[in-house]
Structure 1
Amino acid sequence: MKAILALLIALTFPLHAMAEETEAEGEQAAPAVAYINLTPALVGNFGTGPKLKFYKADVSLRVEGPEAEAKVTHHEPLIRNQLVMLFSEQTEEGLSAPDAKEKLREEALKQVQQVLTQEEGEPLVKDLLFNNLILQ
């Protein structure tokens, strides 16, 4: 009886250790996701012609991990500048296409990643979201 009890106890220790390893691997596999809101909203004009067109964009950047969040927050002024320049280059004709906002979002993400790769050596931002994009 004592031998069986000792055997059962001995078998439970490796199972407990494997469960802890699995939990640790799960924590490493899913880093903390954070969304950085660029506040205040980006506001400016775009297009050419006698009548000015305006935009207002509420932008969020998705990053993974607290280090990436800190680095992106540190470079926020540079990111904002890059996005303002991108938005001001747009034309009314270019933004009237059905998929224009999605193309603009993809180009904005690409430019933000390029700036961060230049500054930090890696893109850091996984996605860029328009919480609100008003063109007038």
Structure 2
Amino acid sequence: MAETKPSEKKISTKLIIIIVLAALLLLLAGGGAGYFFFMKQSSETAHGQVTDGEGGKNEAAKPAEIIPEVYYDLAAPLLVNFPPGSSAKIIKVSLSVLVESDASVGVLKKHEPMIRNNLLMAISSIGADKAKTLEGKQELQAMMLNEIGKVMEKMAGKNTAKDVYFTEFVLQ
């Protein structure tokens, strides 16, 4: 009898462990199913998909069509010489322009000579000393976006330039 008591104790602890693990597994499965169900519903309502009373989606609640934005890299880097006595002799800048659509890229390509001219003037006006600082680079970036916007507005009737990004910025 002394031998049967330890074996009964082993069986009962094994049985308890199995029951606890099975209960834990059921809880995790239920929690995962609940998460999936509720997160799916909340994401649909967050994206404007309203359901009608019969479980179908309401067509009037569709979000506006999203137009993909496009990056356009200027063909060649912009090079500007600074006057003697400046802290740098030249600056070399390469740019990417973020525009609303492929049609806007066509406008940029068509009027790139005018855009390049205006950007070169903007770089010259900022000066080497200011271009070295973060604030100067940010100011130059804003000036460039403004100049590109002016050209697009003048030549195409609509400014679709969203942002300008430096892909290369060298001062020597």
When normalised by structure 2's length, the TM-score is: 0.60
Higher relative contact order (CA 8 A, sep 6+): 1
- Partners of 1:72 and 1:124 within 8 A in 2: no
Cα offset for 1:62?
Answer: 0.4
Q: Which residue of 2 aligns with 1:5?
A: none
Matched AA of 2:104: A
- Distance verdict in 2 for CA 1:92–1:72, change over 3 Å: closer
Cα offset for 1:55?
Answer: 0.8
Q: Return structure 1 stretches of 4+ with deviation > 6 angstroms.
A: none
Per-residue CA deviation, residues 6-45 of structure 1 (Å, 9 max, x unaligned), is xxxxx67xx36739x73xx45x1x2111100002111221
Larger displacement relative to structure 2 (32-41 or 87-96): 87-96
Q: State the identity as a percent.
A: 25
- Which residue, out of 77, 89, 109, partners 1:53? 89
Q: Which residue of 2 aligns with 1:72?
A: 108
- Partners of 2:150 and 2:159 within 8 A in 1: yes
* Count of aligned pairs between the two proteins: 118
- Which residue, out of 59, 63, 69, partners 1:18? 59
Secondary structure of 1:61 counterpart:
strand
> What is the RMSD computed on CA atoms of the aligned residues?
2.3
Cα offset for 1:50?
Answer: 4.9
Counterpart-to-counterpart distance in 1, 2:68 and 2:133: 36
For structure 1, the 5+ residue unaligned runs are 1-10
Larger displacement relative to structure 2 (118-127 or 91-100): 91-100
Q: Which residue of 1 aligns with 2:35?
A: none
Counterpart-to-counterpart distance in 2, 1:59 and 1:106: 13
Matched AA of 1:87: I
Give the greater-gyration-radius structure (CA): 2
Matched AA of 2:73: N
Q: Which residue of 2 aligns with 1:128?
A: 164
- Partners of 1:59 and 1:129 within 8 A in 2: yes
Matched AA of 1:111: E
Q: Which residue of 1 aligns with 2:131?
A: 95
Q: Which residue of 2 aligns with 1:117?
A: 153
Matched AA of 2:131: L
Secondary structure of 1:99 counterpart:
helix
When normalised by structure 1's length, the TM-score is: 0.73
Cα offset for 1:84?
Answer: 1.3
Pair 1:44-2:80 in alignment: yes
Secondary structure of 1:39 counterpart:
coil
